[in-house]
Amino acid sequence: MSENTIPSSLPLRNDLIGEEPYGAPQLDVPVCLNVNENPYPPNPDVIDTIVERVREIAPTLNRYPDREHIKLRQAFSDYLAKESGARLDISQLWGANGSNEIMLQLFQAFGGPGRTALSCDPTYSMYPEYARDTFTGWKVVHRNADFTLDVDRTIEAINDIKPSMVLLTSPNNPTGTPLPLEDTERLLAACEQADVAGAVPGVHPILVIDEAYVEFRNSGTPSAVTLINKHENLAVSRTMSKAFAYAGARVGYLAASKGIIDSVRIVRMPYHLSAVTQAVALAAFEHTDEQLSRVAHLREVRDQTAAWLKRQTYKGVPLEVADSESNFLLFGGHFDNRERIFQELLDRGILIRVVGPDGWLRVCMGTDDEMARFREALAEVLRIVEAQ
């Protein structure tokens, strides 16, 4: 596809002039390990159910869908009760077209002119774009050297900046770092006491935890959804794109207090979830175990790949690998020309991601064959660099 060219005669917003559309490279290569997808397609019985459910609703497509997607919100509730041990009412749940739309709705509801969102970098590169698009200020606190959260500094920033939103990811993207529940509770306590700049007294920031990759967490790691019934200012975003192998379906959801859900309902577009999307999502929940059947294996592949990467060297120094509870790994740490490593891999048919701090690259877990090809290609590239 050709480069985006916008004529200067068009009245594009001044703050958008020179901006580029967000997106990881979409290239036709044999091995795509750059966008953190589940590499395994839905099982045949899941596909059959999808086709059946869409066929059932097809005759009704002349009518608008259920604007409140009640059946789907009940499916979210049932799933979270099973997956995380947290039973939430449907009034505490909300669906959208991927967690990207969930995040944008949160920014629309709680951000805006005069408001600020606070996060901790490195983090998901779309967050500042949500802020830009909603005229919300954007501030970050740097993470520790091992990518864990500096909770004390973050709390100081909450009190100093007085944001309307504090946005954190667990496991973090692009590092895979989990956020311990005790840290979440400390941050919640701080938000519940902090003011919001420009708001009337008694208004406090909301804490948003993005759990897009949470199903890949290690066994025994609790989810932030278990805290929702105790904290009205906590919002937890989830997605079916990753562990559920449903990236093409575009289904995300939000778990939060009824007050936060009702706030999001104010800004949502009418009938934002199509009847087809709702039917496809419900079909997946009929096969939850099948949809998640590869998660444990991908977790094992992640750990095996991390161990392998740590045995590799770049210019005589072992590669660093960030501790990850996701389906991807941030690795390198000291690549002085990471673009070259990226390109050498791409020349061998392997697409990964240049993202995160300088010196690092990210690879998501593919099939066993894809990971074997990644290891073979990276080992060859590192040998070439070593010999020069």
* Inside any domain, residue 1: no
Share of the chain above pLDDT 70, in %: 99
Is position 226 within any domain?
yes
Q: How would residue 181 be classed by pLDDT, with cut points 50, 70 and 90?
A: very high
pLDDT at 199 over 90: yes
| pLDDT greater than 80 at residue 308 | yes
**Whether residue 187 is found in the same domain as residue 287:** yes
- The number of distinct structural domains making up the chain is 2
Q: Does 200 reside within a domain?
A: yes
- Give the tokens for residue 82: 């099973």
> Where do runs of H (alpha helix) occur along 145-255?
151-161, 181-193
Q: What is the CATH number of the domain that holds 361?
A: 3.90.1150.10
C-beta separation of 313 from 378 below 8 A:
no
Question: Per-residue pLDDT for 356 more than 50?
Answer: yes
pLDDT greater than 90 at residue 379: yes
- DSSP state at residue 199: S
At position 84, the amino acid (one-letter code) is: S
Mean pLDDT of 163-188: 97
Domain range holding 252? 44-291
Nearest alpha carbon to residue 37 among 212, 254, 223: 212
Query: 108: which 2 tokens?
Result: 């629309």
Domain-ending residue, one of 275, 291, 307: 291
Give 226-237 pLDDT, tens digit per residue. 999 999 999 999
Instruction: Tell me which H or E stretch contains 288.
Output: helix 288-291
Mean pLDDT of 290-303: 95
Does residue 349 fall inside a structural domain?
Answer: yes
Distance, CA of 364 to CA of 328 (rounded, Å): 4
CATH number at residue 189: 3.40.640.10
Using one digit for the tens of pLDDT, what is the confidence trace for 99-120?
999 999 999 999 999 999 999 9
Please tell me whether residues 332 and 230 are part of one structural domain.
no
Of 257, 291, 325, which residue constitutes the final position of a domain?
A: 291
- Answer whether residue 15 shows pLDDT above 60: yes
What would the pLDDT profile of 202-241 be if each residue is shown by its tens digit?
A: 999 999 999 999 999 998 899 999 999 999 999 999 999 9
Place of tokens 């673009």: 339
Interhelix angle 338-347/368-387, nearest 10 degrees: 120
User: Average pLDDT of the chain?
Assistant: 95
pLDDT at 1: 44
Q: Give the pLDDT score at 4.
A: 67
